[in-house]
């Protein structure tokens, strides 16, 4: 249900990036944006728990309101309007504009790739904590340590992957990320009891694979829509990410089961499904990059 109504702030951010930065620079910009998400997870969860434990859980929501007000003030006072696309010929009716974007045939493949990328990730994510505690044998008190260390590494991984996608190419970087993701997902979903260090290393390497797929794919897909449809295209993509993630979680829940001792059964099956979606998304991304290359060649003529 969230997915049906998602895609406002995130899609505007992606549309602004596309408006302001040429394709050969978008990798590193997307890398910094993904780093911001990682940093928010590292800082946000401990900060929210601190506020809730020392005062009340209401205080965390009040802090969100306060930060949002600060962000609004910064946007109004510091940022310049990004409105050049408004001078382009486009449908002024929002619903007709959205339907026209969804019905654009050459966007279908990009939407499909976005859907697959989110489905795979969200199949493992909701059950990661239970799997780590019961199957890997990591004490629940050490669980935040895994997320904290993985998040800190992500802050450094994002910009590096972004720079690599601009230097070596978006699709080659996506291929590298897909290969790392396939290997690490198969290792992760077949682990037994391991040490805390091993669990951290496996999680960090999985983040390397995830970032090496998400950052170049976002940069590459951002080149698909026309300038007049970037906002609606990004909104549909963001909504699809949430919707497919929810459906992926439901599908995963239908596959796995829990033993009386709390361990998860058939978690390795999820790994096989995620690997299959990764390979399929890689094939589809190949055709996306061909479409982007074709568009670039057409503009040069």
Q: What is the pLDDT of residues 238-273, one digit of tens each?
A: 778 778 878 888 888 889 888 888 889 989 999 999
pLDDT at 180: 93
pLDDT-based confidence at residue 94 (cuts at 50, 70, 90)? low
Is the pLDDT assigned to residue 89 strictly greater than 70? no
pLDDT-based confidence at residue 236 (cuts at 50, 70, 90)? confident
Q: What is the pLDDT of residues 190-212, one digit of tens each?
A: 998 999 999 999 988 988 888 88
Among 47-61, 93-107, 179-193, which range has the highest average pLDDT?
179-193
Task: Give the domains, in start order, of the chain with CATH numbers.
Answer: 2-37+93-300 (1.20.1250.20)
pLDDT at 144: 76
Average pLDDT for the chain = 82
Higher pLDDT, 227 or 152: 152
> Residue 114 and residue 50: Cα distance in Å, rounded?
35
pLDDT-based confidence at residue 98 (cuts at 50, 70, 90)? low
pLDDT at 97: 62
Among 56-60, 120-124, 227-231, which range has the highest average pLDDT?
56-60
**Please, what is the end-to-end C-alpha distance for the chain in angstroms?**
45
Over range 173-177, report the average pLDDT: 92
């Amino acid at each position: 249900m969230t997915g049906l109504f998602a895609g406002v702030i995130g899609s505007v951010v992606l549309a602004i990036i596309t408006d302001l930065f040429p394709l050969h620079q978008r990798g590193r910009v997307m890398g910094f944006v993904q780093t911001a998400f990682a940093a928010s997870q590292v800082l946000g969860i401990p900060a929210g728990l601190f506020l809730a434990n020392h005062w009340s859980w209401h205080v965390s929501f009040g802090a969100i309101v306060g930060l949002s007000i600060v962000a609004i003030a910064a946007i109004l006072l510091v940022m310049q309007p990004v409105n050049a696309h408004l001078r382009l010929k486009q449908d002024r009716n929002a619903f007709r504009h959205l339907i026209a974007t969804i019905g654009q045939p050459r966007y279908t493949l990009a939407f499909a790739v976005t859907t697959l990328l989110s489905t795979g990730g969200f199949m493992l994510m909701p059950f990661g904590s239970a799997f780590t505690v019961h199957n890997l044998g990591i004490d629940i008190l050490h669980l935040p340590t895994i997320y904290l260390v993985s998040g800190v590494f992500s802050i450094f991984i994002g910009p590096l992957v972004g720079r690599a996608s601009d230097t070596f190419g978006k699709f080659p970087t996506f291929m590298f990320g897909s290969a790392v993701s396939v290997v690490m997902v198969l290792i992760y979903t077949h682990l037994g009891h391991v040490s805390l260090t091993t669990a951290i290393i496996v999680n960090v390497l999985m983040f390397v694979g995830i970032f090496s797929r998400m950052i170049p794919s976002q940069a590459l897909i951002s080149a698909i829509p026309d300038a007049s449809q970037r906002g609606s295209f990004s909104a549909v993509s963001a909504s699809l990410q949430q919707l497919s993630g929810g459906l992926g979680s439901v599908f995963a829940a239908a596959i796995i089961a829990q033993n009386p001792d709390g361990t998860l059964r058939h978690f390795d099956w999820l790994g096989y499904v995620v690997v299959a979606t990764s390979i399929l998304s890689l094939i589809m991304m190949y055709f996306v990059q061909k479409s982007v290359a074709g568009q670039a060649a057409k503009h040069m003529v």
